[in-house]
Amino acid sequence: NAGVTQTPKFQVLKTGQSMTLQCAQDMNHNSMYWYRQDPGMGLRLIYYSASEGTTDKGEVPNGYNVSRLNKREFSLRLESAAPSQTSVYFCASSTDRVRVGTGELFFGEGSRLTVL
């Protein structure tokens, strides 16, 4: 099993460009998440999807959109990248059952994005 796979691993964008981060999991998990990690800030939740067909905002959703394409895939889109979006992005899926936040998170290896 591959677990959680993120692509790309590295990306450099210019301000105003758009891009999509892809995430796929092969563990049949219902819940999927996008976090960003910045130095000294820990991980902050951008968006999550408790189940196929639903998405919800997290702590820092501005400037991002998401799509839960099917149970396996959850993508994160930056429509007009800004330098403040330079960060490491982590996708995760979870063994959540009845409620989000109750299960163990499985993380991808991260996507390192630089916006110039």
Q: Which positions lie near another protein, rule CB under 8 A? A: 4, 31, 33, 35, 40-45, 48, 58-59, 90, 92, 99-102, 104-110
Beta pairing partners, 17 = none
Would you say 79 or 104 has its CB closer to another protein?
104
Distances (CA, A) of 4 to 16, 45, 63: 28, 17, 24
106 burial class (0-12, 13-18, 19+ CB within 10 angstroms)? middle
- Minimum CB separation of residue 13 from another protein in Å reads 20
SS3 93: strand
Would you say 4 or 66 has its CB closer to another protein?
4
Would you say 52 or 107 has its CB closer to another protein?
107
- Minimum CB separation of residue 49 from another protein in Å reads 10
Angle CA(2)–CA(86)–CA(65) in degrees, nearest 5? Answer: 65
- Minimum CB separation of residue 73 from another protein in Å reads 18
- Minimum CB separation of residue 82 from another protein in Å reads 22
